Structure 1
Amino acid sequence: MFHRLLITTDFTDGLHRLVKFIPELAQAGLQQIVFLHCVPFEDDRNIPKIDEEKLAMAQAKLSPALEHCPENIEVQIELPTCSSSAGARAKAILAAVEKYQSELVMVGTSIHSLLNEKLFGSTTSELAPKTAVPLLILRPQLVSAYTEEEMALRCQHLLRYLLIPFDGSQSAQHVVDYVAAKAENRPPQSLDACMLCWVLEKSGRKEVSLLPKAKDCTESLQALQQRLEDLKLQVNIDVRQGNAIAEIQTVALDFDISAIVVSSKHFGRLWELSIPSFAGEMVRRSWHPILFVPPA
């Protein structure tokens, strides 16, 4: 789906391990990979100063990415210096995206609550409302636990099978449109299949049946299924009842999903404290990789 990837790492998220898997990432269709690590300033009597020791350490950790690269892929290392705040890191990442015309940013984000995010900051939530390119959000616990053999396979099939939660909303339709556009000119071995899942949540009187609505939802998904199948994708559909977050996580487990695709104009905004965001909750709670598509 993508040709130019920016991988940002703080060395605690495990993403720096990807320096060993450039050939495997190339097999997923990537032609350019940029590794970025924000080196925090050394605090010398409250005067910002480049920390040469940390800069050298970061260079040493990421430089293996430059070795044994296939001829068809470009690899770069970016080591900007900035303060340790989430906002400063996000600003440095966005500058690198513009410099290299990156199409996808990979970030590591731990599971946490919305309140914790607002209190202590989050680079991902700072990026989400500002970026014009998608974010691929991975759990540090999973990336760190992969063996090298497992990591190699993950890199080869980075976005092979996508789960699209659909509810008829503008955001959900935007995700389908985005995936369809990417599928038209996708590299070989990059995207094979999609799952469209509509979760109906009960509200009001329990005795009211959701069966009539489920039929309408199925018909809507079938139309989208045909559209995506015309792009030579394998497409499955599913309509179920229950809690949306829990059911989507169950589907991701049952169907061997590579990533869950979401979009939202609320995620990362201050008003998310009062306006719930399904996409935001998936980012914070799902163990599966999340592909966050910027809103239209």
Structure 2
Amino acid sequence: MRFIFLSVLCTVLLLGTISSAWPWRPYGILGGSLDKRADTTETSAAGTSEQKTAASTASETASSTTGGTTGTTTGTNTKTGTSTDTATGSETATGKTTGTNTKTGTSKTTATTSISIDPAAAAGGVSMITPASSSTTYYKIGQDVTFVWNYTSLSVTPSAVNVVASCSLNSQVYTLTSNMSVEQTGSVVWDTGKYKQTATIPLLTASYTLFIYDASKELGDTASAGYLSSQIGYSFGMYSPQPYTSLGSFECVTCNGALSATTRQALKFTCGMALITFASFTWFAGSAGVLAT
């Protein structure tokens, strides 16, 4: 029994010695079906060691090197009675120093002034100095015409004004000046002689109305309280000089009361018939004793 056991043991040892000394091919006898067992412990230890080394290296690099900063700051500062600031930024840190700092800003300041106007207040206007508004002044066409005025009840001063003269006889508007700057006392001189030389719309012997209104508005617009009104005008007259004509040959062309020759003859005939009728009635009444006392 002991002999059999020893025989088997020797056989196993012999086979083990032969197997370990045998020159195995790279893929083994079975053509790659038998692979060498991987050493898990050594591989894990090596991987852990490499990770620790990489982490240590990254830590040392991060501690010795300042992380790069990439940032964008956009600022907008707008002031309109109040101040508003808006900032937006982002930062990214890496192990290598790479930084970009960009700042873009826009600053704008706006001042707004407001005034309080009573809605029941009257609209602004002008007070004529020359000519006086108490009477109508007549100007000869071909001469300089001067107008001087002051502003009244004006809470909001317009940036510029227009000065025009309107004639109702031909429904035309003559521009004396436009976009005129506003001062406490305004004045304008109208050279009617120069205008007459190049005029496409002639000046007539008629009455005119002077208007001074805000250049940003239209003539005739309704003005709010405190704003310059364009609906109040000042009248003046203009006439063209005529050569001398005797009273007997003078004939008023523009007068509505002028009588023609036919009209004068008709009036003479009517007056004559009235006299004849009155005389006849008086004679008849006297003859009949009606008028006797």
Q: Structure 1 length normalisation: TM-score?
A: 0.17
Q: Would you tell me which structure has more strand in proportion to its own residues?
A: 2
Q: Would you tell me which structure has more helix in proportion to its own residues?
A: 1
Q: Higher RCO, 1 or 2 (CA under 8 Å, sep at least 6)?
A: 1
Larger radius of gyration between Structure 1 and Structure 2: 2
